[in-house]
A and B are shown apart, each in its own frame.
Chain A
């Protein structure tokens, strides 16, 4: 019998996993203890981020992806899959409506799948501040693939790239002109680009615009995509060329599952690339550094909050509101007042 919640998590007990997730999500002292205890057991899972604008079909894609991963060709062992689906918290009420499960009903009844919805709780990067902690729970519990679906992200919600090993950016036809594709931000973080809803009119234009964008970033692609026969060229594009990874562009239709097999192939290819090139360790190190810095930032803030009185804070705030003191000046005063 496991003696602690963390040990029960490591043994994969579902009730323990769900309770641990809640503790960590609530930032409770018990949650921190669990994270500490499970940490040595993490680092095994393939973390896959799925991001893109609202309504591009991320949840449906995740549903299909998990379904196909769990039903591989005969003879192959299906990996266990955890899904974390993040939806936005209302900035006004603090409440949230988490609706990603609606698209994931096919996954019910499979003990090799665990779906957890999560509210962003005020974070702006497309994830919640505790998403990384939830990932560690699933990782320690032995889930081999962890799919992380972000809030329907716009252009700069790129936090997922520092959490996941592989980032899938989901596009859909009809979301702006080709200039959108060369803007900085979300497209830059894609390891795999998916054009979902590929059966809708205009999907060819979206594919073309994305290919052009990629050909600017990865010149060797141009020739391969130049003369029709796009599908073949994309297949070849995924593999690492000259030791570099070129993001493949995959058309999919999530509602029917079309293109999902190719997506799974590319996920595996990307994982192989990460492992062979040493990028896996580099991304892992970057993620842990990011975690450390986030925690340090939060701890410093908590430390500061505990060392300044609410009264002093309100006084300084009042001076800013009455425009007697600039926000910059006020910060200096507050830090001095807190003895930092």
Chain B
């Protein structure tokens, strides 16, 4: 019996001018197979579009994929817009190419997890479940 119960809802977004979405799709698929509801928004999302989609979809988690190197610009913008929409409790996960020296700053800003190439999807799934207190 598939009953309607609380499901983890995740927004997967490609932020900025970056058309490489293979990683985002792999993660989206893995989360789906882990029983989550994944809203995939497609390419070239502005921070405004991402925050608006997070509000309309009432997701617990936003997964941002950035391979363009613009994370230090895009991430603070997304975080502050989420705040503005009253979505302080939404978790933000970041995937893509992020140099080690940027990571402490991003975590301080409020990013809940950063994943580079080769991360096992199981790790991401577990982190999301823990963040949503379903583990």
Contacts and interface: CB of A to CB of B under 8 A. Distances in A.
Interface of A: 14-15, 18-19, 21-22, 25-28, 89-91, 93-99, 101-102, 105, 108-109, 114-117, 119, 121-122, 128-130
A19 B54 CA distance: 12
A101 B53 contact: yes
A295 to B, nearest CB: 13
A14 B57 CA distance: 11
Interface string B36-79: 11111110011011001101111000000000000000000000
A93 B32 contact: yes
Contact of B48 (A21, A108, A117): A108
Contacts of A108: 46, 48-49, 52-53
Given A98-B39, A105-B42, A25 B32 contact: no
B134 interface: no
Interface in B5-41: 5-7, 9, 28-29, 31-41
B123 interface: no
B4 interface: yes
Q: Which residue of A105, A114, A122 has the most chain B CB atoms within 10 A of its CB atom?
A: A105
A141 to B, nearest CB: 12
A57 B40 CA distance: 17
Contacts of A28: 6
25 contacts: A14-B55, A22-B9, A22-B58, A26-B7, A27-B3, A27-B4, A89-B37, A91-B2, A93-B32, A95-B7, A95-B35, A96-B38, A98-B38, A98-B39, A99-B40, A101-B40, A101-B42, A105-B41, A109-B49, A109-B52, A115-B53, A115-B56, A119-B7, A121-B2, A129-B4
B40 A98 contact: yes
Q: Considering the complex of A and B, which 6 residue pairs feature the smallest CB-CB distances, nearest first?
A: A122-B2, A102-B42, A95-B32, A18-B58, A108-B49, A94-B35
Given A105-B42, A109-B49, A121 B57 contact: no
A119 B28 CA distance: 15
Contacts of A97: 28-29, 32, 38, 40
Given A15-B85, A21-B58, A101 B39 contact: yes
Contacts of A19: 58
B2 A89 contact: yes
Contacts, number: 96
Contact of B56 (A18, A25, A27, A91): A18
Nearest to A121: B4
A117 B39 contact: yes
A34 B109 CA distance: 36
A50 B40 CA distance: 21
Contacts of A89: 2, 37
B118 interface: no
A113 B30 CA distance: 30
Contacts of B3: 27, 122
Nearest to A120: B2
B86 interface: yes
A138 to B, nearest CB: 11
